[in-house]
Amino acid sequence: MIWSQVGFSSQQTRRTYVAIAMAVEKKSPDKDLSKDNLADETPLKSKTDSDQSLPKSKGKWAALVENLRLIAIALLIAAVVRIFIAEPRYIPSPSMVPTLAVGDRLLVDKISYRLHPPKSGDIVVFEPPPQLQDYGYTTRQAFIKRVIGLPGQTVQVSQGTVRVDNKPLQEPYILESPQYEMPAVQIPPGSLFVMGDNRNDSNDSHVWGFLPIDNIIGKATFRFWPWPRVSLLKPQEAESTSVKLK
C-alpha cells in the first residue's frame, strides 16, 4: 500500500505524517471558505462605514445651506413686495370707526395709484403732510382716512352734512354726523380733502388742511385680521359720494 511503498516502517510514523499533511491542507490558499478568509471582511466593513459617514455629513450641510438660501430668497421677495407692491398696516386709533376698528390689520395696495389717481371714497394710507410734521409727527407715523374731495372741488361742512360742490353726500359708513361747522374751501391741484369715518374723533383735513397726493403710501384694500372681520374693502363700502370729477 501507499505508506509501505514510501518506506514507512511503523504505524506511529504513518500517523505522524498524516497529521503533518492535514496541517498543511488546512493552511492551503485554495480554501476560500475558511474561517480565516471570512475574518478578513471585518476591517473592510469598518472602512465602508467610515466612507458612508462622510457623505451623510456633507448631506446635512448641503440641506442647511439650501434652507438658508430659501429663507434669504423669501426675505428678499417679502422686502420687494413691501416696498413696491403692498404692505400690512395696523389701525391704532378709532378715527375710522365703524368701517375700521382699533386693532384691525389691513393690506395696503401700493400699485393702483401708479396706474390711476385716487378716487372719491377711497380709503388711503399716507405720510403726515408738512403741517402735521410741524407739530411733531414723523413720516413713520402713517395716517388712514377716506378721500372726500378731489382737486378743484369745494368741500363744506354745514348743519351736520358734508357737501362737495354744494351737493350733500350720502354717507352710510360714518359713525355719526359731524358736530362742527367748516366753511367752504377749494382743494388745490395735487391735493385731496380726507376725513375719518368717525367724524367727531378724527384728526383730518377739517383740522389741518389738504393732503398732498405725493404723501399717499397706498390704498387700503383688504382687512386680514381679526379673523371674524376678514374682508375686502368693497367698492360699495368705500363709495362715499356720487359727485363726479369735472
**Which domains does the chain possess?**
91-238 (2.10.109.10)
What's residue 70's pLDDT? Answer: 80
Hunting for cell 403741517 — which residue is that?
131
Q: Maximum distance among all alpha carbons in the chain?
A: 147
Q: What is the mean pLDDT of residues 94-118?
A: 95
What's residue 73's pLDDT? Answer: 79
Region class of 152: left (phi > 0), else alpha (psi between -120 and 50), else beta: left
What's residue 203's pLDDT? Answer: 95
Q: Residue 39: pLDDT band by 50, 70, 90 thresholds?
A: very low
Between these two residues, 204 and 56, which has the higher pLDDT value?
204
**Rg of the chain's alpha carbons, rounded to an integer?**
44
The CA distance from 87 to 8, in Å, is: 107
Is residue 11's pLDDT more than 60? Answer: no
What's residue 2's pLDDT? Answer: 41
What's residue 28's pLDDT? Answer: 44
Cell, residue 201: 374723533
Cell, residue 191: 391735493
The CB density around residue 2, as the number of other CB atoms within 10 Å, is 7
What's residue 69's pLDDT? Answer: 79
What's residue 40's pLDDT? Answer: 38
Q: Give the Å distances, CA to CA, from 19 to 10, 12, 16, 78.
A: 15, 11, 5, 86
Is residue 148's pLDDT more than 50? Answer: yes
The pLDDT mean for the chain works out to: 78
Beta bridge partners of 163: 156, 168
The CB density around residue 221, as the number of other CB atoms within 10 Å, is 17
Is residue 6's pLDDT more than 50? Answer: no
Q: What is the mean pLDDT of residues 92-107?
A: 95
Is residue 177's pLDDT more than 70? Answer: yes
Is residue 32's pLDDT more than 50? Answer: no
Between these two residues, 71 and 166, which has the higher pLDDT value?
166
What's residue 55's pLDDT? Answer: 63
- Provide, rounded to the nearest whole percent, the portion of the chain with pLDDT above 70: 69
Q: Compute the Cα dihedral for 208, 209, 211, 212 and give only its sign.
A: negative
Residues belonging to the active site: 95, 145
Between these two residues, 26 and 87, which has the higher pLDDT value?
87
Among 28-42, 63-77, 128-142, the range scoring the smallest mean pLDDT is 28-42
What's residue 78's pLDDT? Answer: 65
The CB density around residue 51, as the number of other CB atoms within 10 Å, is 9
Judge contact between 129 and 215, C-beta under 8 A.
Answer: yes
Cell, residue 118: 385716487
The CA distance from 163 to 153, in Å, is: 10
Q: Residue 207: pLDDT band by 50, 70, 90 thresholds?
A: very high
Between these two residues, 88 and 242, which has the higher pLDDT value?
88
